[in-house]
Structure 1
Amino acid sequence: MKGPLFYSKILLFGEYGIIKDSKGLSIPYSFYNGALKTDENPSEEAIKSNKSLKQLADHLETLNPELVVFDIDALKADVDAGMYFDSSIPQGYGVGSSGALVAAIYDKYAKDKITVLENLTREKLLVLKSIFAEMESFFHGKSSGLDPLNSYLSIPILINSKDNIEATGIPSQKAEGKGAVFLLDSGIIGETAPMVRIFMENMKQEGFRKMLKDQFIKHTDACVEDFLKGDVKSLFSNTKQLSKVVLNHFKPMIPQQFHELWKKGIETNEYYLKLCGSGGGGYILGFTEDIDKAKHSLSDYKLEVVYNF
């Protein structure tokens, strides 16, 4: 048995900001994916995943039936038969490993589900997002529901504010373009919950809240608008400002050994780094106007190009 594939995602802009109503832009990333599966001879990974699915099934039973109802009997029967989530999505890397799993479970076991094929009004998107937030809270304690939404729909999603999200189109890629968005592998697994805790602690300080509103959210919103408009020049100028703000105010979320590399990008303009997801490890997102220069400058690291300008 093997179910349909669900992709990883990349939140290009909006990490942390969307908690406080900044804009955000999330795109599917088909390089990684996962599917529900049953095998005759399960691997250690499969057995571990199966155990986690058992606990997830218990969690889903506790959700408000007015929000969503699952065929729990079918889910539990499949889990007892050894079902697991077979995934190439690295965990703790900020590319939505739990989101893809949540999307796969909803797709297969939700009753009266909202499907990708129907007319996706804003109301339907918000209902899906709140269902996914409740489902994914099993993994992170608190979830926005955006990762699973992106994975489930496999289309770019524009977040205007908490209560205003829409499916969107992004400018088509220029295969020959020198400009690029890339992923840089930190080689460290990041934990979402502790990073979000640090952020929430910081939010208690007035200075931090002011910086978030006046700098972080301002540049994030501008980046989203520039990207959607295809205004590359303005995008790089705003991404540089955003990279600076993150280096100055989100240091705990940047692994120590990347502080200098981050600074070097801003000083040389060869690339600008930003958080991918909650940070603390996993992938770091990079933007460059010249991918060859960036590759040369970051030759000690593994880069994966996500999008070409």
Structure 2
Amino acid sequence: MQNFYPGKILLYGEFSIILKNKALAIPLTSQGGKWENARDAENTSLFGWLKYLKKLPHAADYDLVHFEEELNRGLYFESSIPQGYGAGSSGALVAAFYAHFSISPITNPSIIHLQELKKELGVLESYFHGNSSGTDPLVSYLKHSLLLANDKIDKIKVPSPPEDLFFFLLDCGMARKTEPLVSSFLNEIHNNKDYTADFENHYVPVVDQTIQEHLDGRFTELKKQWLELSQLQTLFFKAMIPKNLIEYWHKGNNEGHTHLKLCGAGGGGYLLGLSTLKEKQVSLFYPGFKMIALPFS
């Protein structure tokens, strides 16, 4: 059971994906996890998950007897993905479980099977999130980028950026919980008609265009889209931007070289960044914060 299951980054489409608009998710190959064994393993949380799995209507689809035996022998999930960072920590765990303990795992899903698999993985992950879409574990299981739109899923190749554009993750230094942030957004959508109209008419088209520019490899235009997207997020998602980074967020936009955007729900964890500066210069631009280059392999 040595297979590695990567994390996941929602490159574009945070919050708008909830309303079934376009989103682009990629595997985070620099972080991930795999099954390991140790006599003194701390796997209590996995026993809690096992109880949840046993109560599922389709529990017979998984070899839960074997899973429990392995847990008793010291099976645990060794992961480098930080929890509460928007990088798919529970998604990688679910992907690893499905791959090794599903009775008949789907190994080469068709377009139809992608939808079914996403739904099934979402049920498995809902123990950790309350209500999971299944996107995170699907990206981790397939180890492939996905374009999502209105319940449609496509495996897709995402072009790597040129040398003069640097994509990175910026560690806010604190974890966050997704559910309260999503609830706050949905409350605005359901109760504020002006916000909803502006979101659908102004924000969503920019997200769609940003995705298209990236997939088409038009990186000069993509840089301009990132600036617009970053500026719009300070209007639509102000409460989701960590207060300890808002000054840097505006500074990068004003100076024109570095742009930040949310990575998932925001509120903490990672932010996504794009810069025309070199990696070392970007690191110096955010003193006291950890920065990680975003791989596109």
TM-score where L is the length of structure 2: 0.93
Instruction: Indicate yes or no: 2:95 matched with 1:106.
Output: no
Partner of 1:57: 50
Residue equivalent to 1:240: 227
Q: Is the contact made by 1:68 and 1:131 (CA closer than 8 Å) also made in structure 2? A: no
Alignment of 1:75-114 (within 5 A): 75-114=67-106
* Cα distance, 1:68–1:12 mapped onto 2, change above 3 Å: farther
Structure 2 residues not aligned, in runs of 5+? none
- List gaps (5 residues or longer) in structure 1: none
Match of 1:250 in 2: 237
How far is 1:68 from its partner?
7.5
Pair 1:5 & 2:14 matched: no
- Quick check: 1:122 aligned with 2:111? yes
Pairing 1:220–2:219 present: no
Question: What is aligned with 1:167?
Answer: 155
Structure 2 residue 30 is matched with structure 1 residue 31: yes
The alpha carbon displacement at 1:299 in A equals 3.9
| Counterpart Cα distance in 2 of 1:212 and 1:291 | 33
The Cα shift of 1:173 comes to 4.7
> Once the two structures are superposed, what CA deviation does each residue of 1:73-129 show, in whole Å capped at 9, x if it has no partner?
1112222222211111111111110000000011111121101xx3x3211111111
How far has the Cα of 1:32 moved from its partner? 0.9
Verify the 8 A CA contact 1:9 1:147 in the aligned structure 2: yes
Q: Secondary structure at the match of 1:256?
A: coil
Bigger CA drift: 146-155 or 293-302?
293-302
Counting aligned pairs with the same residue, the percent is 34
Contact 1:184 1:301 in 2 (8 A): yes
State the shift of 1:36 in Å: 1.6
Structure 2 distance, partners of 1:279, 1:97, is 15
Distance in 1 (CA, whole Å) between partners of 2:214 and 2:160 is 11
Paired AA for residue 210 in structure 2:
C
Separation (CA, whole Å) in 2 of partners of 1:109 and 1:278: 30
Quote the Cα distance in structure 2 between the aligned partners of 1:68 and 1:216: 44
Shift of 1:307: 4.4
TM-score w.r.t. the length of structure 1 is 0.90
* Structure 1 residue 259, shift from structure 2 partner: 1.6
RMSD value, Cα: 1.7
* Partner Cα separation in structure 1 for residue 16 and residue 55 of structure 2: 30
Q: CA deviation at 1:40?
A: 2.4
CA contact (8 A) 2:11 2:26 kept: yes
The answer to whether the 8 A contact 1:69-1:110 is kept is: yes
Comparing 294-303 with 238-247, greater Cα deviation is found at 294-303
Q: What corresponds to 2:39 in structure 1?
A: 40
| Structure-1 residue corresponding to 2:131 | 142
Contact 1:134 1:145 in 2 (8 A): yes
1: CA distance between counterparts of 2:215 and 2:55? 39
Would the alpha carbon gap of residues 264 and 129 (structure 1) be closer, same or farther in structure 2, given more than 3 Å must change? same
1:196 aligns to what? Answer: 182
Partner deviation per Cα, 1:265-308 (whole Å, 9 max, x = no partner): 22111211101111110111001133355344324422211148
Shift of 1:141: 0.8
Paired residue secondary structure (1:41): coil
The alpha carbon displacement at 1:146 in A equals 0.6
Distance 1:195 1:68, change over 3 A: farther
Q: What residue identity is the alignment partner of 2:128?
A: F
Count of residues in Structure 1 that have an aligned counterpart in Structure 2? 294
Determine if contact 1:68/1:110 at 8 Å carries over to the other structure.
no
The Cα shift of 1:149 comes to: 0.5
Task: Supply the distance in 1 between the matched residues of 2:2 and 2:225 (Cα, whole angstroms).
Answer: 41
2:267 pairs with 1:280? yes
Amino acid at match of 2:186: M
